[in-house]
A and B are shown apart, each in its own frame.
Chain A
């Protein structure tokens, strides 16, 4: 599904990603872990097409398409979804209006007519139930006055509605209490299928207790320095990132 080869990217003159290689297949869950400032969020932003970052080299192939040539909205409409670490407020626009616009645009890109409102509402109700979202939520304005947990749940709700092929969850666990974490993780697990894939970006191992990854990668200094199975996350939790980073620092010293 996703092949990233020797990806180098940064902001202005500051190179943050220094050659990322990653392959994600349908049905897989990958966790990308690493200390602060290692480039985790940059990687997710570059995959999603945030123009604040400049791609200096390498390529990203997504289902046969060169992702780097597509606008962010084209990437989205091809099935790339980013759950934002800091979801943005859009005052005056209700959750339902926003999602309706989003789905309508996605269908337009696929040459489809807008989904009938009745069907859309039915679908919204189903997904709300999946994520234990209370009534009245749809008419609230996008992320305006939402608590940290509500914002993250809103991201996963949009993910459920848009049914992406590749979902990137950027620090979705930050700001969540344990109950919210469980609900969000539960939702992600239920949405998992043989046709889609998920990349979980996280600092802590906590979320991975609920969403068990097939692969864990450690990102440090703009490179993936260690990869392994789910057990790697536990090892990191025990030994700390120093365990990997010290070794890495020696190599480049």
Chain B
């Protein structure tokens, strides 16, 4: 990092002295950065830096060409200044040995960062059955529990490693659920993704531990383009946790991730996310733009369950979806989306029923506070062949104060008359009477709001693994601090 840049960064940090965002700090680690802007050359540089095979470069270039022909979507109920894509740095990697043999070799600065997050690696290692693959500025720097997983034939590594070591799997599945051309952001991601995770669970194997990845943006102006590919082979089971926090920045940071899940016959994937990117300050300055494409495909009797707790980002554009291709497959979506101050979120899910007797459940809980805007957008599509399919959707909104907004956009398309689709929606406010009742029982207003909000989100939080549920509860409290005065 240049001296000049370092200085301006310090100034930035000084300017933003607010304590509102608990995770606002940067880690002082030297980075290897390429010039900003996007061109065919940049795509080639990224691919070269990662020593990728020719087929991968071809994939990226094709995606880049598609992206050039596409337009940034306008249909979401969010207002923002579109990023200047030539002003973004598309690759940044810590200048050190990318993969460590053991966590003990980790840079002490990085260790400190995780300590500040309250999720130290030491703790992580002690935590029962949690393997951690840390992504710091786009390159995995530490991978653990690999041996335990290897014994079962489970592959859990960075996507870069997978491209090198398991090209046949990556080639076969990458882009099959989310094609590069799917949308503007998936095309961008496909062209420039720098790292992410890869996971393969072999036939009949039940993954013996929760897999988790902590993502973190660290370089000023660096976009984070994560790519995740998870394949659960026939009859296998896996629970994957993804959580992220970002340091405070007084500029917009672009984030366009793609996650693809493949659940083969009888497989079961549970994918949980806690998202806490920097939301911008109270006036809405700065904050991460989060444009995410997450989609999974279910083959026969398979099940994919998405759980998300979204509290961060200035802009959230995210619709984790399920394609229920196989007969008797099941898709689930459990979501808590919190917006405060000037945050805007347009999030929901798509459940595409193709197979017979397919089932989907949607539980979406929105919480809007401050001057924020929370939107639920969901599609339930039951195709002609999806005989006896069922969907249940419940979309609730909780408003705090009278300056926030909340909208629900449910789209339902049913093409056969044997299907059963139910949709329930409620909008409520935290009542003064509820707060007073808690007060009268000795519970202060902040704690009362936290309690009421946790109760409201219970159905979703219950879906999270235990240690994540506790973290998510804390996050909800932090996110809503000072939202009722």
The interface bits of chain A over 66-104 (1 if a CB of B lies within 8 angstroms of the residue's CB, else 0) are 000001110111000110100111111100001001100
- Shortest distance in angstroms between B432's beta carbon and chain A's nearest beta carbon? 7
Q: Mark B420-433, 1 if CB is under 8 A from A, else 0.
A: 00000000000111
Structural contact, B457 and A76, CB atoms closer than 8 A? no
Whole-angstrom distance between the alpha carbons of A87 and B457 in the complex? 22
A105 interface hit (Cβ, 8 Å): yes
Q: A73 near B455 (CB under 8 angstroms)?
A: no
Residues on A with beta carbons closer than 8 Å to the beta carbon of B431 = 88
Partner of B442, one of A52, A77, A142: A77
Bound form: Cα–Cα A48–B433 in Å = 13
Number of interface residues of A (CB under 8 A): 31
A101 x B443 contact (CB < 8 A) = yes
The 0/1 profile, CB within 8 Å of A marked 1, for residues 428-457 of chain B is 000111101111111111010001101111
Question: Is A106 in the interface zone, CB < 8 Å from B?
Answer: yes
Closest to A168 in B: B440
Residue of B nearest to A103 (CB): B442
Q: Is A158's beta carbon under 8 Å from chain B?
A: yes
Q: Are the CB atoms of A49 and B455 closer together than 8 Å?
A: no
Q: Smallest CB–CB gap between B102 and chain A, Å?
A: 38
Q: How many inter-chain residue pairs (CB < 8 Å) link A and B?
A: 75
Q: Does B458 contact A (CB under 8 A)?
A: yes
Cα of A164 to Cα of B447 in the assembled complex, Å: 21
- Give the residues in chain B near A89, CB-CB below 8 Å: 434
Q: Which residue of A lies closest to B462 (CB)?
A: A92
Cβ contacts under 8 Å, A102 to chain B:
438, 441-443
B439 touches A90 (CB 8 A): no
Contact, CB under 8 Å: B454 / A88 = no
| CB-defined contacts of B457 to chain A, threshold 8 Å | 92
Minimum distance in angstroms from B370 CB to a CB of chain A: 22
Query: B459 at the A/B interface (Cβ < 8 Å)?
Result: yes
Contact of A90 among B442, B447, B455 (CB under 8 A): B455
B428 to chain A, nearest CB (A): 9
In the assembled complex, A162 has its CB within 8 A of some CB on chain B: yes
Contact B440 A72 (CB under 8 A): yes
Q: Of B432, B442, B445, B452, which contacts A106 at CB under 8 A?
A: B442
When chains A and B are docked, how far (Å) is the Cα of A51 from the Cα of B454?
24
B residues near A87, Cβ cutoff 8 Å: 437
Which residues of A in the span 91-136 have a Cβ within 8 Å of any Cβ on B? 91-93, 98, 101-102, 105-106, 109
Which B residues lie within 8 Å of A147 (CB)?
none
Interface string of A34-75 (1 = CB under 8 A from B): 000000000000001111100000000000000000011101
Query: Is A141 part of the binding interface, using a Cβ–Cβ cutoff of 8 Å?
Result: yes
How distant is the Cα of A76 from the Cα of B438 in the complex, in angstroms? 10
Q: Establish whether residues A105 and B442, one from each chain, have CB atoms under 8 Å apart when the complex forms.
A: yes
Which residues does chain B contribute within 8 Å of A51, judged by CB atoms? 436
Neighbour of B444 across the interface among A73, A81, A88, A162, CB < 8 A: A73
Q: How far is the CA of A72 from the CA of B447 in the complex (A)?
A: 13
Contacts of B441 on A, CB cut-off 8 Å?
Answer: 76, 98, 102, 105, 158, 162
- With A88-B437, A90-B434, A92-B457 as contacts: A76 and B451 at CB distance below 8 Å: no
Instruction: Please give, as numbers and ranges, the residues of chain B lying within 8 Å of A84 by CB-CB distance.
Output: 437, 440
Q: Which residues of A contact B436 (CB under 8 A)?
A: 50-51, 72, 88
B437 near A90 (CB under 8 angstroms)? yes
For A142, what are the chain B residues with a Cβ–Cβ distance below 8 Å?
Answer: 455
B447 touches A93 (CB 8 A): no
- Known: A76-B442, A101-B447, A105-B442. Is A93-B452 also a contact (CB below 8 A)? yes
Q: How far is B136's CA from A58's CA once the two chains are assembled, in angstroms? A: 62
- In the complex, which residues of chain B have a beta carbon less than 8 angstroms from the beta carbon of A98? 441, 451
Within 8 A of A (CB), among B108-154: none
CB pair B443–A105 under 8 Å, yes or no, is: yes
The answer to whether A88 touches B433, judged by C-beta atoms less than 8 angstroms apart, is yes
Residues of A within 8 A of B432 (CB): 52
Q: Which residues of B contact A162 (CB under 8 A)?
A: 441-442
CB-CB contacts below 8 Å: B445-485 with A:
445, 447, 451-452, 454-459
26 contacts between A and B (CB under 8 A): A49-B439, A71-B439, A72-B436, A72-B439, A73-B440, A73-B442, A81-B440, A82-B440, A84-B437, A87-B437, A88-B433, A90-B437, A90-B451, A91-B456, A92-B457, A93-B452, A93-B454, A93-B455, A93-B458, A98-B441, A101-B443, A101-B447, A101-B451, A105-B441, A106-B442, A158-B441
Chain B residues with a Cβ under 8 A of chain A: 431-434, 436-445, 447, 451-452, 454-459
Chain A residues packing against B (C-beta within 8 Å): 48-52, 71-73, 75-77, 81-82, 84, 87-93, 98, 101-102, 105-106, 109, 141-142, 158, 162
